[in-house]
Structure 1
Amino acid sequence: MSSTPAGPEFPGKRLPQLVLLLLAIVVVAVVWLEGGRSEGDLLDQMARRSLPLEQALSNGKPSVVEFYADWCESCRTMAPGMEQMVKDHPQVDLVLLNVDNPSWQPQVQRWNVNGIPHLQLFDANGESRGQSIGLRQPQELSAIAVALETGEPLPTLAGIGAISSLDPSEEPSRRDISSNVGPRSHG
């Protein structure tokens, strides 16, 4: 019975592996922390903080309901402006409804959501005052919030923002936008 001794283990042999493991952990941590600062994550954070729709429409405060999707670049671009609107106008509730969530299909159909971002605007009594489709700038969002707070008429905003199809091969031109917009379209 002879056995070949494995020989002594030297810590130096595993040092390169440990350095690589530590480097990989640092890279993952940095990517994870940086990812937490993206607009997509802001959109997700806002959706998690938003009130349930029924509560927002019955609590005596005006509400902005945004229909959005995680893949919608305009929704992601508009997220910081929406966040600022909430900070500047805390008396206006914000509700985010993801169009990719099947549980929101009745609301998508009820309010004829045919492009995103789609804002459905409600007064303090939960009555619909209007809607806005497409990317809105922070000053436009603020004007909407002020009108909802004061009961003044909604601001006149430029028409529908740029709309594009989910399928890049079906990109509509701006002149035939109204005939090609569907629930999965976004601005």
Structure 2
Amino acid sequence: MTNSSPNPGLGQSERLLLVVLAALLAAGLFWFRGGLHPEAPLERLARQSLDLPVALGNGKPTVVEFYADWCEACRSMAPAMETIEAQHRGNLDVVLLNVDNPRWQPELERYDVNGIPQLELFNAAGEAVGRSIGARTLNELQALTGALLTGSPLPAFAGVGAVSSLDTGEPTTASDAATMAGPRSHA
């Protein structure tokens, strides 16, 4: 004997409604979680950076940026840094070092990082030739990297200066260190 009663399962219209609801729920969840959330320029640059010793030893000028993920100035400068890296790929190294990563503590101390973003500028021989403190525009970054690439003096921007290997020979005292601001002392 066969059952001639109607199928107690879902009808075509109910199935279509469930598919539409599932698609809307998936789209809402996708939007809520940030969509495709492409990697930010700062993250891309940091991920593709050469190791600092490699960059300083490969015969190319190098720009080292000390940054933090939470630093608004660093994030706002990142697209310009990405443009510089793309324009000079193969001729200039761009290295990013996160001040919140304990791995870079020796570099933070060596380059006296006390604010971010801080750029350390090196010639093709890997010698420090200058420092820039604070956010830079694309035009300023192009002028700085142009000087590095041609071996010219650095442009005279506020917060940019040459560095010297001259050591005063006077050790930093504990009281001096206690009054110095650290790289994480501002937002």
What TM bracket, shorter-length normalisation? Answer: 0.7 to 0.9
Q: What pairs with 1:151-170 in structure 2 (closer than 5 Å)? A: 151-159=151-159
> Residue 63 of structure 2 corresponds to which residue in structure 1?
64
Partners of 1:85 and 1:99 in 2: CA distance: 21
What SS does the aligned partner of 2:35 have?
Answer: helix
- Give how far 1:58 is off: 0.4
Structure 1 unaligned regions, length at least 5: 1-6, 161-178
What letter corresponds to residue 184 of structure 1 in structure 2?
R
The answer to whether residue 87 in structure 2 is matched with residue 88 in structure 1 is yes
Q: What is the aligned residue count?
A: 159
- Give how far 1:20 is off: 3.7
What letter corresponds to residue 159 of structure 2 in structure 1?
G
TM-score when normalising by structure 1:
0.75
> Residue 36 of structure 1 corresponds to which residue in structure 2?
38
What SS does the aligned partner of 1:77 have?
Answer: helix
Aligned-residue Cα RMSD (Å) equals 2.3
Deviations 1:72-120 (A, max 9, x none): 1101100111111112222110001111111011101110111111101
Partners of 1:185 and 1:83 in 2: CA distance: 26
Whose helix proportion is higher, 1 or 2?
A: 1
Partners of 2:159 and 2:65 in 1: CA distance: 17
What letter corresponds to residue 89 of structure 1 in structure 2?
H
What SS does the aligned partner of 1:48 have?
Answer: helix
Partners of 1:131 and 1:26 in 2: CA distance: 47
Partners of 1:86 and 1:186 in 2: CA distance: 27
> Residue 171 of structure 2 corresponds to which residue in structure 1?
none
The runs of at least 4 aligned residues of structure 1 exceeding 6 Å deviation read none
Identity rate, percent: 52
Sort the Cα spacing of 1:186 and 1:76 in 2 relative to 1 into closer, same or farther, 3 A.
farther
What letter corresponds to residue 76 of structure 2 in structure 1?
T
After superposing the two structures, state which structure 1 stretch, 44-53 or 23-32, moved more. 23-32
What letter corresponds to residue 59 of structure 2 in structure 1?
G
Q: What pairs with 1:37-186 in structure 2 (closer than 5 Å)? A: 41-90=40-89, 91-159=91-159, 181-185=181-185
What letter corresponds to residue 184 of structure 2 in structure 1?
R
Larger Rg: 2
What letter corresponds to residue 100 of structure 1 in structure 2?
D
